[in-house]
Amino acid sequence: MNLLIVDDQTSVVNGIAQGISWNLIGITKVFTAFNAFEAKAVLKEQRIDIMLCDIEMPIENGIKLLQWVRQENIDLECIFLTAHAEFEYAKEAVRAGGYDYILQPAPYEEVQKVIASAVIKVLEKNSHNKAYSLYKAMLERKDALKGTILRDIVKGSITQKLYEKYGDIVTLPKWSQSCYSFLVQFNAEDKLQQFGDELLQFIITNISRELFASYEQDVILYPASETSYFILVYGVKGYCMDYEGFIRQLTLIDKNLSAFYDLHTAYYASKAVSTSDIKESYQSLIAMKEKNVISKEGIFQEGHSEFGEEKKEYHLTSLKRWKQYLSSNLVDTVREEIKEYLNNLAKHGQLSQDVLYHFHIDLIRMVCDSLEEYKVQPHEVIKQIRNLNVYQDSVHSLNGMLRFVNEIMNLFMDNIDKEADLNITDRVKEYIHDNIGKDLKRTDVALAVHLNPDYLTRIFKRDTGITLGEYIICEKMNVARNLIKTTALPIKFVASRVGYDNFSHFSHSYKKVHGISPSEERK
């Protein structure tokens, strides 16, 4: 990917050209120009993907240059540099089609982060270009083949003889060559969805390859799961780097992923083993990852016990209370208490895979028992879990369990709604009619029908089209109107009969509902 720097100040151009780690963010070649005329000459001769351009230049400024670029149908992303903080500059840059702008002077780290974001934009755009995709596929074919070979090694499905045959096609470490490996686990799943698997592989491969290249090492990547990658590090000339250097480069990879892409990760690093023993290293790193149930970030070395003993004491005393809450449809209360319970276990170092496994069993049993109370078939509800990964991941990490709790509680509510909501509204109306002389509050009605007030309000409005409070007032005013018209009771007595101690409040509500005051109604 090519980038063009355009600025009339030589020191700025040279500083940016030399101060950015271009290879780390996927820039292979950097061109420079000191005015719009020189920039146009470069743009006519070279394919430029990103232009880093000063706005304030003599003769022709950066915005005019970008307008020319658009007129020439040159497809690139433009990042403006400006020393002015006025909002008008930002608006003008956006109108001209600029991708972003950087207020100068800015640290090189900030400039690099903005360019890294533009690189991702270009990659996303190019992925829809058929010709580019074919070209890219050719370039990546060898990396893909290496990744497939690494997958076969960790699965134990490749022989030494077949492996050595592959070595005639692509560059691979010798079967007996010592090398390192590491497993990188990304924790911010929303961020992963934003990047997508292809971009993420590009980012991690590019950064790893660049940082290990100074030690004459290359990397091979294998996607171990939706959120983790297994990476082999080996010497291209057979040399195995020192272990301290290996860990040091992992630290730099972490720093770059965090600084430029806001990706937070855990790294599980192996000791040096021969290529033939990579399967054992992979299994060891996977076991380390599975013990990190709280998704702790950092670099964890094979043979170290950062996560303590696996066996934890498990005592759950809240099940009975949670089951009672579910019987009263206080699902959100259960959800929040479970979240607090699990987070407290994690905070005090009491969470492990074993604890998650036993909690998972208790949770399923509690939900199934509660569903049966509502005469809902539990197995029909469990079958509705849309993403099986959510179910499976629940015993592997705190975040996985919290996602599962959220899923199972939502399914519980959905299915109880279908069975129970049918007669809730009728029960509420009956209770209001029987207690029309009381000062009825929403909480009183909810307590009477054993429901959460917010939940009751939601389903009542869904079924009737008005809020619970509005219905109570309307019913009281209808009863009052009947008493006023059919009896000689003083209006103050009528107000008291429908739960109003304040006559002014009663009169105001009556007029709001019926359009006239109680006194006018009596006439």
What is the DSSP secondary-structure string of 276-301? GGHHHHHHHHHHHHHH-TT---EEEE
Summarize the confidence of residues 215-221 as an average pLDDT: 94
- Contact criterion met (CB below 8 Å) for 265 and 187: yes
Tens of pLDDT, residue by residue over 328-385, are 888 889 999 999 999 999 888 888 888 999 999 999 999 999 888 877 888 888 777 7
318 has a pLDDT exceeding 60: yes
Tens of pLDDT, residue by residue over 297-306, are 999 999 876 6
What is residue 258's predicted lDDT score, i.e. its pLDDT? 87
Tens of pLDDT, residue by residue over 378-421, are 888 877 776 667 777 788 889 889 989 998 998 888 777 655 55
Summarize the confidence of residues 485-514 as an average pLDDT: 89
Contacts of 431 (CB under 8 A, 6+ apart): 445, 448, 449
Tens of pLDDT, residue by residue over 469-479, are 899 999 999 99
Summarize the confidence of residues 180-209 as an average pLDDT: 80
Contacts of 403 (CB under 8 A, 6+ apart): 390, 393, 394
12 has a pLDDT exceeding 80: yes
- Facing residues of 79 across strands? 52, 100
Rounded CA-CA distance 363/344 in Å is 17
135 has a pLDDT exceeding 50: no
- Contact criterion met (CB below 8 Å) for 465 and 459: no
What is residue 194's predicted lDDT score, i.e. its pLDDT? 63
Tens of pLDDT, residue by residue over 26-80, are 888 999 999 999 999 999 999 999 999 998 888 888 888 998 998 888 989 999 8
What is residue 275's predicted lDDT score, i.e. its pLDDT? 94
**100: confidence class by pLDDT, cuts 50, 70, 90:** confident
Q: Nearest Cα to 111, choosing from 34, 53, 33, 66? A: 53
Rounded CA-CA distance 114/100 in Å is 8
Summarize the confidence of residues 235-247 as an average pLDDT: 93
Rounded CA-CA distance 21/38 in Å is 24
What is residue 198's predicted lDDT score, i.e. its pLDDT? 77
Q: Please provide the average confidence, as pLDDT, over all residues in the chain.
A: 85
What is residue 93's predicted lDDT score, i.e. its pLDDT? 63
Summarize the confidence of residues 490-498 as an average pLDDT: 90
